[in-house]
Amino acid sequence: SQQGEEDPQALSIQEGENATMNCSYKTSINNLQWYRQNSGRGLVHLILIRSNEREKHSGRLRVTLDTSKKSSSLLITASRAADTASYFCALDPGGYQKVTFGIGTKLQVIP
């Protein structure tokens, strides 16, 4: 099973700036999900985008999916210190296949 590759592995920005992180993958997917993990805590589901969707929004989050390039991006606008966390993409091939998680992007938002 494939694993998404997040880029960059770490990102440090000032509060109020936008944060963009990317996820690339190799084989076809049914959907792609983004999760947030605060230090040592459980992952929290942020947003799911299906393979026939190109863009989704949720509050300050914007996710895009380009199936021709096999990549997705997560944009957090007007970042806050509370957005400091690790962000993971998860690939869902669909059916009875398992979702796989990437290694994550560690985001630090400096107040």
Partner 1 sequence: DADVTQTPRNRITKTGKRIMLECSQTKGHDRMYWYRQDPGLGLRLIYYSFDVKDINKGEISDGYSVSRQAQAKFSLSLESAIPNQTALYFCATSDKPTGAGGYTFGSGTRLTVV
Asked if residue 90 binds partner 1 (CB under 8 A), the reply is: yes
Burial level of 104, CB count in 10 A (0-12/13-18/19+)? buried
Q: State how far the alpha carbon of 2 is from the alpha carbons of 5, 26, 57, 97, in Å.
A: 9, 7, 26, 11
Asked if residue 19 binds partner 1 (CB under 8 A), the reply is: no
- For partner 1, the binding residue among 31, 64, 67, 77 (CB under 8 A) is 31
| CA–CA distance, 96 with 86 (Å, rounded to integer) | 27
The site string for partner 1 over 48-87 (x = CB under 8 A, - otherwise) reads x---------------------------------------
Asked if residue 33 binds partner 1 (CB under 8 A), the reply is: yes
